[in-house]
Amino acid sequence: MKGRILIVDDKAEMLLLLKRIITEGTPHEVVVESSALDALKQIRETSFDLIITDLRMPKMNGISLLEAAREVDPQVSVVIVTAYATIDTAVEATHKGAFDYITKPFRSERILLTIDKVMKWREVTYENRVLRETLTGSGFQSLMVGASPVMRECMQRVRQVAPTNATVLITGPSGTGKELIARSIHRYSTRSNRKLVTVNCTAIPESILESELFGHVKGAFSGAWKDKKGLAEEADGGTLFLDEIGDMSLVLQTKLLRLLQEGEYKPVGSVLTKKADLRIIAATNHDLLADIAARQFREDLYYRLDVIHLKLPSLKERKSDIPLLAYHFLKKYAKIHGKDVRDISLEAMQHLGAMEFPGNIRELENTIERGVIYCRGSTLAEADLWHTSGRETPCGDVEENINGLPFREAKEQMMRVFHRSYIERLLRENNGNVSLAAEKARIQRQYLHRLMKEAGLSSEDYRQKDE
């Protein structure tokens, strides 16, 4: 198990010595800090498996750093190293939660042995926690499936962020589970007994999004025949999740900024200001900094949203999670479709591992659901996974695979194939430009975005890259 270790000591020679011992004797990543206060900033910004800290340092000593670090991350392991060893300080460090207490001078073997014990202990406790959460259906594991290092880091960040009221910005490619992260944050927040209200900024036409978000008064516009409560008011006391915020118009961004800054908004057509006590979580697959440069997103709104930034990895960056995700979806869709499919063949799993999945987790989920529907036995075979990434499926193959299915299921499968094939061709022909593709198809841009999301397609995958 490769971990991240933070070394804190105000003496440069000790930092160099410990870093050399650890980097030469272990595979772990090492970060060094000569100030306990700077180290605490690091701990708040990223997660560490182990902190090795000196006891006596200016401004903040090792015991104080131990306490502060465990407030930020109760799971972090801390080892205190000192030349001023006393029984009292050793007892105090142990009571405060230190994993070990090492006296100077020390042998390099002593440091390496302690690190090995810490990492083995953390691996065992992590596996036990995952097993317990999986069996009980509680904890973050029931919402976010994955055991890769990058997902463990993500889960740790969510654990740290969830109990606070901080605004969170979630970014990452389409289909990586941004909404699932938002739900996890709300579920483990102090607002979990109140509503989580989701606003899809792409699915709702721009002309009515303001009314949906802030509500309106009677007579505000044609068809407003009575007062209507907005989603911001509905989420009062809870969490408002703004999905695909990168597609929100500049005019509405200005009004959202006021909600973030002042906790105030005005319903459409009203002269009265309303208050809302909200936690806001926003998500997008856009590069918002590029949008700011192109004057398509407000810079002041970005920095209001970017208090906590969680960037989700693509499935390509966490391929070791594919077996866990595949079995998770297998169980889910076997139950939904009433199929007795309990296993995945080795060939099918190897096939999944070799796929690119530009649509990320959503595309993998669709692939497994399709496989469950086509499967005729108890084990999902490679032949059941008829779609391979980057290829269009011949109609003959589809017709063969829907043999024996009820009319409704067969129709759904044929429509999915049609949607994906048609949208892929549109995006290729228009170099990934969604607006042009929608215009050519004579459909609303928002509707095309929804179809793309359902098919697990991202416009970025169809944009020609400069050689």
> Where residue 437 falls among pLDDT bands split at 50, 70, 90?
confident
Q: How far apart are the first and last CA of the chain?
A: 38
Separation CA 194–CA 186 (nearest Å): 9
Residues 56-82: b if buried by 16+ CB within 10 A, e if exposed: ebeebbbbebbebbbeebeebbbbbbb
Q: Are 51 and 77 in contact (CB under 8 A)?
A: yes
| pLDDT band, residue 126 (cuts 50/70/90) | low
Give the pair of three-digit tokens for residue 156: 């740790």
3-state secondary structure 222-263: CCCCCCEECHHHHCCCCEEEEECHHHCCHHHHHHHHHHHHHC
| Residue 128 pLDDT class (50, 70, 90 cuts) | low
pLDDT category, 142, cuts 50, 70, 90?
very low
Token pair recorded at residue 246: 């990168």
Distance CA 304, CA 466 (A): 33
Fold classification of 4-131 is Rossmann fold (3.40.50)
pLDDT of 396 over the 80 cut: no
What is the tally of helices (H) and strands (E) in the chain? 19, 16
pLDDT per residue over 299-357, tens digit each? Answer: 999 999 999 999 999 998 898 889 889 998 999 899 898 889 989 988 888 888 888 88
In degrees rounded to 5, what are phi and psi of residue 103?
Answer: -100, 145
Report the DSSP pairing between strands 264-265 and 274-275: antiparallel
167 near 279, Cβ under 8 Å?
Answer: yes
SS (H, E, C) 320-369: HHHHHHHHHHHHHHHHHCCCCCCEECHHHHHHHHHCCCCCHHHHHHHHHH
What count of other Cβ atoms lies within 10 Å of the Cβ of residue 207? 9
Q: What is the CA radius of gyration of the chain?
A: 26
Indicate if 315-462 has the same CATH topology as 4-131: no
Contacts of residue 405, Cβ cutoff 8 Å, sequence gap at least 6: 373, 413
| Strand partners of residue 386 | none
Calculate mean pLDDT across residues 400-415: 65
Cα 389 from chain centroid (whole Å): 23
CB-based contacts of 418: which residues, under 8 Å, 6+ apart? none
The predicted model gives 158-175 an average pLDDT of 91
**Residues 72-83: what's their mean pLDDT?**
84
Q: Give the span between the Cα atoms of 279 and 194, in whole angstroms.
A: 11
Residue 199, CB-side half-sphere exposure with 13 Å CA sphere: 29
- Return the pLDDT at 226: 85
Q: Quote the pLDDT of residue 1.
A: 55
Encoded amino acid at 354, one letter: A
Which two tokens mark 212?
């949906």
The mean pLDDT of 94-98, rounded to a whole number, is 78
Domain ranges of the chain: 4-131, 159-311, 315-462
pLDDT digits (tens, 9 = 90+) for 247-275: 888 989 998 999 998 888 988 888 888 99
CB 162 within 8 A of CB 255: no
Q: CB neighbours (10 Å) of residue 360?
A: 24
Q: Which tokens is 49 given?
A: 């498996």
The two three-digit tokens of residue 52, written as one number: 């090795």
Average pLDDT over residues 226-244: 89
Could you read off the pLDDT of 190-201 as tens digits, one per residue?
888 788 999 888
The residues with which 200 forms a beta bridge, in sequence order, are 243
According to the model, what pLDDT value does residue 281 have? 96
pLDDT of residue 20: 92
pLDDT at 461 over 80: no
Is 3.40.50.300 the CATH classification of the domain at 159-311?
yes
| 236 in Cβ contact with 276 (< 8 Å) | yes
Q: Which architecture, in CATH terms, is 315-462? A: Orthogonal Bundle (1.10)
Q: What is the pLDDT of residue 432?
A: 82
**Mean pLDDT, range 439-462, rounded to an integer:** 78
pLDDT of 124: 65
- Tokens, residue 38: 């700077």
Residues in Cβ contact with 74 at an 8 Å cutoff, skipping those fewer than 6 apart:
none
